[in-house]
Structure 1
Amino acid sequence: MAEIIVPELAESITEGTVSRWLKQPGEAVERGEFIVELETDKVNVEIISEEAGTVQELLAEEGDTVEVGQVIAIVGEGSGAPAASAPKAEAQPTKEDAPAPAEATATADERTLASPAARKLAREKGIDLAAINPVDPMGRVKVQDVEAHATAPKAPATPAAPAPQVDDGRVTREKMTRRRQTIAKRLLEVKQSTAMLTTFNEIDMTNVMALRSRKKDEFFEKNDVRLGFMSFFTKAVVAALKKFPYVNAEIDGDEIVLKNYYDIGIAVSTEGGLVVPNVVDADRKNFAEIEGSIRELAIKARDNKLTIADMTGGSFTITNGGVFGSLMSTPILNGTQVGILGMHTIQRRPVAVGDNIEIRPMMYVALSYDHRVIDGKDSVGFLKMVKDLIENPEDLLLGS
């Protein structure tokens, strides 16, 4: 017999949510086969069985919060049964050890779709499973449903009982995922624990767009990856961080930690929320390597394949709200980092060029920063350098 235990995930992750059981009681499992998927603050993690056998018991429900080191399933000896086979009938309690209501409805309980833990709790509380209204749209009774039924106020035995509240379709409630809860919590913490300020500038994208247009076909044929704007901005950010090192720092107690590496986080929007994997050692990568890394991370993010290593250790973040049409925003700092660059949509508008007015493709950019570490001189200088490099992209090519 073997226990399925929540493993050590990462230094900052102590718990997760059971997202999906990949095996059910009675099913066979091979050694090294995935048995459950956990959703953590940062990524989804699949846990394997260390032994071959049959799943005997699941000790946590889908949606339950579990901690590192917690036993969540039991795998025993045996070859198991196919998932579609009928579940083995549970032994019913005797009159001496079970309340009468549960015994009187034993047949109905057997027909009711419920998890083993829910059945056990219902027996202990003397609750008829058939009387429970489960939240699960498939009708499966879970522990939470049993507990909610047990604590629900009983209707008074008078004709004057109030009519139940009817859902008229005006609102829809849905439970926040663990990742969305964590995003909300951390963004609020950043707002409350930093002296965040945002400075803005605008970039004339004419030259970089022209260069990209000239080089994109040749670039793709040579590197099998498309030339986008993110590699230009990543290169510009790295150059600016080297000139303004306090933008590539964080606070640790009463110390400022200056980072001598350049792992640039690239915000990626997924169905589960915003994630920020890192382009590691961006200063050592050329344009093609940066574009390849960004594409790989984006695919992994949308397929829920990001690892803990992909998500930790970043020194600065770039977020591009322009892909959704955002004209201007004030991005919120990412974790303990002290700077984040916000890119926005490119919009053609009239600008003064010398003594003339011309229509140019312009982008607003925003730098949010922690004023405890960075003063106006560094923040404005950093953003101005990014602007100058994007407006003169040949300098980036020559410096890469």
Structure 2
Amino acid sequence: MSILEMKVPSPGESITEVEIATWLVKDGDYVEKDQAIAEVDSDKATLELPAEESGIITLKAEEGDAVAVGQVVCLIDMSAAKPAGGASVEAKPAQEAPKAEAPKVEAAPAAANTYATGSASPAAKKILDEKNINPATITGTGKDGRVTKEDAVNAKPSMGTPTGGPRGEERKKMSMLRRKVAERLVEAKNTTAMLTTFNEVNLTNVNKLRAEYKEAFKAKHGVSLGFMSFFTKAVTRALALYPDVNSMIDGQEQIKYDFADISIAVSGPKGLMVPVVRNAELLSFRGVEAEIKRLALRARDGQITVDEMTGGTFTITNGGVFGSMLSTPIINPPQSGILGMHNIIERPIAVNGKVEIHPMMYVALSYDHRIIDGRESVGFLVAVKEALENPTELLMDNNPKKALEL
């Protein structure tokens, strides 16, 4: 018999343990080499665990178990022959003999609960039913404690009294990824001097460019011309103007970066994930849209890696896709700034002394006030606003077709 011990591989630097999220096979199944046998959660991502060889598998860990990197989680008997049809070799339990049915005992009918036996009068019961109040919860003032019509009229439902609706609850363990997200959010609130500044952006010109070029852009590049490329380009321009926003604290030192690795918050099946668009300042509109689409699909399909979510210098999050009008996003540590986008609403604004309707978006910048002052934070957000309101001039060098590679 040739047995292979499968150990937990290291998902990335600094990760010492993972959690068995789901076994994709059963104990005793025959597995093929490279077949996905489990999904494991680390504190940064969910990864698939492939079988290292073909054979009969024996599981050594349960779903929900936290296992150390290098720990044996299953055995594979490589000498076992593949069953016909790929069936499992689990032993079938012996068929149990049918159990004899116990004789039925009919319960004695309950005594009727009537007004004569001390319950509510028919009129009182009707009123209480309309109020969805249990008569048993009312102290009657009638003879022998009977609930009268007057008692029912004066009765009010107690805030602490169940009223007959469903009151179930479910308890389940949070995934390692969700626990780590929670830990990092609390850490950001407790260890940074976080402050948020707001502004609003008129997206009329962005909408005009998208309406004019989106069909040709998609036909040529295979990706849509969305808002994220405009916002990413506006952010990288503003980071170059205000480099303190593109920095972070390490002990008693401030680290500034001459590149912009932009973390883009996306919603995946396991929760919030923040893959990184590397050197976004060097990418064209097409390059930004293609990379965001690639990373979002990998996050959605559970294929995103730890390396793809590590090392960003600034974050953009778009709550507008869920309908958010305004929020104060939490910094993604160790970064020092995060830009929150929101939904686009047509609102009346004053333009050259006249009231006009324009597509408006509130934007929010949360930043670490320990290294970013008001001048830099407000200036950064104003620079983002200026670029989005004048995209042809400030983001496309007055040549949209060239910028969009059309």
User: TM-score w.r.t. structure 1 length?
Assistant: 0.77
SS of match in other structure, 2:397: helix
Larger radius of gyration: 2
| Structure 1 position 397 matched with structure 2 position 399 | no
Alpha-carbon distance between aligned partners in 1 of 2:294 and 2:385, rounded to the nearest angstrom = 27
Matches within 5 A, 1:114-153: none
Distance 2:214 2:36 in 1: 42
Q: Which residue of 2 aligns with 1:163?
A: none
Q: Which residue of 2 aligns with 1:362?
A: 360
Letter in 1 for 2:64: G
Moved more, 274-283 or 14-23: 14-23
1:72 corresponds to: 73
Partner of 2:4: 2
Summarize the alignment of residues 106-121 of structure 1 with structure 2, pairs less than 5 Å apart: none
SS state at 1:176 partner: coil
AA aligned opposite 2:336: V
1:338 to partner: Cα distance: 0.4
CA contact (8 A) 2:30 2:88 kept: no
* Structure 2 unmatched ranges of 5 or more: 97-164
Aligned-CA RMSD value: 2.2
Name the residue aligned to 2:270: 272
Q: How many residues align?
A: 326
Match for residue 34 of structure 2 among 25, 32, 35? 32
- The 5 Å alignment of 1:252-291 reads 252-291=250-289
Cα deviation, residue 84, structure 1: 4.3
CA shift for structure 1 position 38: 0.7
Q: CA deviation at 1:31?
A: 3.5
Offset, 1:27 = 2.5
Q: Deviations over 1:120-156 (max 9, x none)?
A: xxxxxxxxxxxxxxxxxxxxxxxxxxxxxxxxxxxxx
Shift, 1:249, TM fit: 1.1
Question: Match of 2:191, as an amino acid?
Answer: S
SS of alignment partner, residue 230 of structure 2: helix
Matched, 1:374 2:372: yes
Give distance in 1, aligned partners of 2:86 and 2:14. 36
What does 1:305-384 align with in structure 2 at a 5 Å threshold?
305-384=303-382
CA deviation vs aligned residue, 1:357-383 (integer Å, no higher than 9, x gap): 222211110000011111111000100
Which amino acid is 1:88 matched to? A
Identify the residue that residue 128 of structure 2 maps to in structure 1. Answer: none
| Distance apart, 1:352 and its partner CA | 1.6
How far 1:191 moved relative to its partner?
A: 0.6
Classify the secondary structure of the residue corresponding to 2:395.
helix
List gaps (5 residues or longer) in structure 1: 91-105, 109-166
Question: 1:7 and 1:354, CA in 2 relative to 1: closer, same or farther beyond 3 A?
Answer: same
Which amino acid in the other structure matches residue 9 of structure 2?
P
Determine the structure 2 residue equivalent to 1:228.
226
C-alpha contact (below 8 Å) 2:40/2:48 kept by paired residues: yes
Partners of 1:26 and 1:80 within 8 A in 2: no
SS in 2 for 1:397: coil
Query: Partner of 1:189: helix, strand, or coil?
Result: helix
Q: Give, in angstroms, the shift of residue 89 of structure 1.
A: 7.4
The alpha-carbon deviation at position 169 of structure 1 amounts to: 3.4
CA distance in 2: counterparts of 1:171 and 1:58, whole angstroms: 31
Provide TM-score, normalisation by structure 2. Answer: 0.76
For the pair 1:59 / 2:82, whether they are aligned, the reply is no
Q: Aligned match of 2:290 in 284, 289, 292?
A: 292
CA offset digits 1:54-96 (Å, max 9, x no partner): 22x3111011111111111112232254664462379xxxxxx
Partner of 1:172: 170
Which of 90, 114, 121 is equivalent to 1:87?
90
Q: Secondary structure at the match of 1:191?
A: helix
The letter for the 1-side match of 2:371 is V
Q: Calculate percent identity across the aligned residue pairs.
A: 50
State the match for 1:125 in structure 2: none
Q: Which amino acid aligns with 1:20?
A: T
Structure-2 separation of matches of 1:398 and 1:296: 27
